[in-house]
Structure 1
Amino acid sequence: MPTGVPIGDARERLFDAADRLLLQGGPSALTSRAVTDEAGTAKGVLHRHFADFDDFLAQFVLDRAHRMDERAAALRDAAGTGTVAGNLAEALTAVFESVAVGIVALVTFRDELRARLRETWPAGVPVLTDAVEMIADYLAAERELGRLDPGAEPEGLAPMLVGTAHLLFADRTGRPPTAEAVRNAVASVMGGVLV
């Protein structure tokens, strides 16, 4: 790769390459060489933008976690429309069909990455904690609209829904769960709180 050739937004290009590698090969596929090769950049580009590879990985994970903001806004906007179970199933599928399952494995796989994330991320695993917050906010909105039992506890239901969806999508080698399987799982967790 020639030097001095502009490559656009190098950070985003490297992050997109990490997405593809993580989805295709899991956490062990992410090396600095693999990322720069996938991005079509010189290895020095990564080190020009990040202190080291763990810094790159931490920034990648945080970037992907912050992308949950758009999904959260869309889900909140869906409150009062469609069905609660359908909206939840769609949102959970969108989260876990993305790179989220791979990020969970990546954070679990790399001790140094977890240590770096703890500097800026207070607890939990980025993306999963965002998903829990997104679901809890949505459930609170639906409860206010009267579509959930007034005694429903969004803060308890949200982690159960995210955990259930994570288990459904965790097998990266098999086929993803069907939409019906996700809806059934959501309906099971929601039990008697749907009005």
Structure 2
Amino acid sequence: MPTGVALRDARQQLFDAAERVLLRDGPNALTSRAVTTEAGCAKGVLHRHFSDFDTFLAELVEDRIARVRAQEADLCERAGTGTVVGNLAEALTEVFETVAVAIVALITSRDELRAKLRATRPTGVPLATEAVTMIASYLAAERGLGRIAADADVDTLAPMLVGAGHLVFADRTGPRPSPEAVRKVVATTVAGVVRDR
């Protein structure tokens, strides 16, 4: 007798289920059983698509990194529009209101997952590193348009913004930070270089 529901795109549905578990219950609650229960399918479905649970988790991280890369393209297209502070605050919110904070915690708590990711990403913290690249690219685009000082060190500002954003969103059990709180952190961080807030 079949168990669970038929999955059209099993990999994506398993990733989405893992994200829901991470957001709701945190990294310690993320098990293969929790993922398949959340997805409404038999445990064997996960192992049909992934050789082991750490491989599943590594591919989940890669999938979420691809989303940040897509977000980078969108953010860079916004250079010259809106305000620099507003664009940065929206970008950081989009990264950290999703699963990024939980994934960073997951990576730091699982040695085998970290080892798998190190095979292709030898430096930095996956997802956070891509967020830094996204912010640096955007800041460079705005610098090229003259909305940020010509001597602005975007390679230093980007990790400062991502680190501050991570801290603002780090408490997954507390209330989400307000848009004003995020804007304040961004505005304070870039105050010396932004010409158009």
TM-score over 0.5 (shorter chain): yes
Deviations 1:146-178 (A, max 9, x none): 001110011110000000000000011111111
2:55 maps to what in 1?
55
Q: What does 1:85-164 align with in structure 2 at a 5 Å threshold?
A: 85-164=85-164
1:27 maps to what in 2?
27
Q: Distance in 2 between matches of 1:122 and 1:80?
A: 34
Q: What does 1:173-188 align with in structure 2 at a 5 Å threshold?
A: 173-188=173-188
Q: Distance in 2 between matches of 1:148 and 1:164?
A: 19
Percent identity (aligned): 65
Q: Distance in 1 between matches of 2:156 and 2:17?
A: 36
Q: Distance in 2 between matches of 1:129 and 1:189?
A: 18
Q: CA deviation at 1:121?
A: 1.6
Q: CA deviation at 1:119?
A: 0.9
Q: CA deviation at 1:191?
A: 2.1
Deviations 1:6-59 (A, max 9, x none): 521111111010000000000011101111111111111111111111111111
1:11 maps to what in 2?
11
> What letter corresponds to residue 13 of structure 2 in structure 1?
R
Structure 1 runs of 4+ aligned residues shifted over 2 Å read none
Q: CA deviation at 1:125?
A: 1.6
Q: Distance in 2 between matches of 1:140 and 1:176?
A: 29
Deviations 1:54-95 (A, max 9, x none): 111111111111111221111101100111011000110110
1:67 maps to what in 2?
67
> What letter corresponds to residue 169 of structure 2 in structure 1?
F
Q: Distance in 1 between matches of 2:2 and 2:120?
A: 35
> Is the CA contact 2:6–2:41 (under 8 Å) kept in the aligned structure 1?
no
Deviations 1:101-142 (A, max 9, x none): 000110011111100110112211221111100000000000
153-162 vs 117-126, greater mean Cα deviation: 117-126
> Is the CA contact 2:96–2:165 (under 8 Å) kept in the aligned structure 1?
yes
Q: Distance in 1 between matches of 2:131 and 2:81?
A: 20
Gaps of 5+ in 1: none
116-125 vs 49-58, greater mean Cα deviation: 116-125
Secondary structure in 2 aligned to 1:28?
A: helix
The two structures have a TM-score, normalised by structure 2, of 0.95
Q: Distance in 2 between matches of 1:131 and 1:97?
A: 13
Give the RMSD, CA atoms, in angstroms.
1.4
Gaps of 5+ in 2: none
1:82 maps to what in 2?
82
**Paired residues, what number?**
195
Q: Distance in 2 between matches of 1:86 and 1:7?
A: 39
